[in-house]
Chain A
């Protein structure tokens, strides 16, 4: 998720006043997040009155729906551009993931992370290969193919941006893939926990499935949250394991484009690229996790950090709703959409099988 700041910076510079936008957007986000909390409480009370102890409509769903409503209102009133600087889904999400480290000990991290890394390597190689092959069959441009294959196989937007930098893709291609990623991730976030529930998947397997398949980290955390705390932790760790492969993928892509596609043109691949593209917030997550493992945090602190994590995640989910846009898709035609959807279906089925073997049969 390393290079997403670039995209945000470009987008925010388009706004009339970045600081005004930060203030206006910040106030809007605050109000919406408080509303999420209030709605969540109200919905839970309603379900409880019907004899349903656990609220099936968890807060990520409420947050996305409120974000979508705000999105509609902002676009109708032409204020969407004004609040844009504060809509920083990736930033809020990364903060939340750093905080999530307080709940996951280093032992859990190593146990789940090792399985997650094995799963990530299998998934990234297979899904990247499949998308690359299918994109070639329908003659997609090389750069679009590279950005799409990275996005669908690694971690959506951030991987798309990292790959775009490595292969010198056009900005429209990144925007296009980014939109596809968000459009696909939202329904998956809701549908996958339902399917997992219907299949009776254990939380570990379900979490690994969400983490291995859904492209955006936000939607992965959202799906995990909908399924339960254990699924959320596993989903986040599996996704983080996948995220750390961004640098390697970007390096390999740059190498391929420099040696084969462009023969010497484009970004020059160096081993430093692996570190440059490495998602540094993972280090923050591991730091907090290490502190939790040595007993630095008391039980009340873990609970309080958990509350803070929920608030930051709620902010991110509201932002997902506000960012949602399908208009960019119309410009590029349906061929890439079909390749992306086919790759997503392949990803979904393969991730279920791999998660079941690694986290179900082999026990993580």
Chain B
């Protein structure tokens, strides 16, 4: 097997390795892959999570109306606050971090949830593996 692999012409070897890299990255074996972060906050409380600075995040919520202005592209070093008031969640990017909050690690962004509503709320940040599946998302287009 190894001997056969060594005898493979360079062009085919390069093609195979190239496609393998695409597959490995695409299925999330290498790189960030699929990600999920859940922020839960009781009434009057806050929660936070540091997430990889990537785009194409899908944002969901429970306990309040979904944010009308969700931030799906997170920038490294930035902080985003989701605030629940009157059963409605609104998002905004913060110019400065609130007191007592440490900046995120390199390559990450900070998501803060502040719950001023009367019930517990959950905010979910979810991101699929980079490669769309099944059949590369072709059927869903």
Contact = CB atoms under 8 A, between A and B. Distances in A.
Interface stretch (B14-22, B75-83, B84-92): B14-22
Interface stretch (B39-47, B63-71, B108-116, B132-140): B132-140
A300 B54 contact: yes
Given A99-B21, A280-B9, A305-B25, A298 B15 contact: no
Contacts of A308: 21, 25
A292 B98 CA distance: 42
Given A99-B22, A288-B22, A294 B10 contact: no
Contact of B21 (A95, A279, A283, A298): A95
Contacts of B56: 298-300
A102 interface: yes
B55 interface: yes
B58 to A, nearest CB: 12
Contacts of B137: 295-296, 298
A280 B11 contact: yes
Interface residues of A, number: 36
Contacts of A2: 9, 11
A94 B11 contact: yes
Contacts of A102: 22
A304 B15 contact: no
Q: Is the interface of A mostly helix, strand, loop or mixed?
A: helix
Interface string A1-12: 110110010000
B3 interface: no
Contacts, number: 104
B130 A287 contact: no
A297 interface: yes
A94 B14 contact: yes
A196 B110 CA distance: 43
Contacts of B141: 295
B50 interface: no
Nearest to B135: A296
A305 B10 contact: no
B31 interface: yes
Contacts of B31: 304
Nearest to B26: A301
Given A99-B18, A294-B136, A296-B137, A304 B25 contact: yes
A283 B22 contact: no
B37 interface: no
A291 interface: yes
A98 interface: yes
B11 A305 contact: no
A97 B11 CA distance: 11
B10 A295 contact: no
B18 A5 contact: no
A246 B19 CA distance: 24
B59 interface: no
A324 interface: no
Contacts of A88: 10
A86 B107 CA distance: 32
Given A5-B9, A281-B11, A305-B25, A300 B55 contact: yes
A279 B13 CA distance: 12
B131 interface: yes
Given A1-B11, A301-B130, A304-B130, A98 B19 contact: yes
A94 B132 contact: no
Given A8-B10, A297-B130, A304-B130, A284 B26 contact: no
A17 B69 CA distance: 61
A308 B26 CA distance: 12
Given A95-B21, A284-B18, A295-B141, A301 B131 contact: yes
Residue among B9, B10, B32, B136 facing the most chain A CB atoms (10 A cut-off): B10
B80 to A, nearest CB: 18
12 contacts: A2-B9, A2-B11, A88-B10, A94-B15, A94-B18, A98-B17, A102-B22, A281-B15, A294-B136, A298-B128, A298-B130, A308-B21
Given A294-B138, A297-B26, A297-B131, 18 more contacts: A2-B11, A5-B9, A8-B10, A90-B10, A91-B10, A97-B18, A99-B18, A279-B11, A281-B12, A281-B18, A284-B18, A287-B19, A291-B136, A295-B137, A296-B132, A300-B130, A301-B131, A305-B21
Interface of B: 9-19, 21-22, 25-26, 31-32, 54-56, 127-128, 130-132, 136-138, 141
- Counting from the closest, the 10 A-B pairs by CB-CB distance are A98-B18, A284-B15, A94-B14, A301-B130, A296-B136, A280-B11, A5-B10, A281-B11, A281-B14, A304-B31
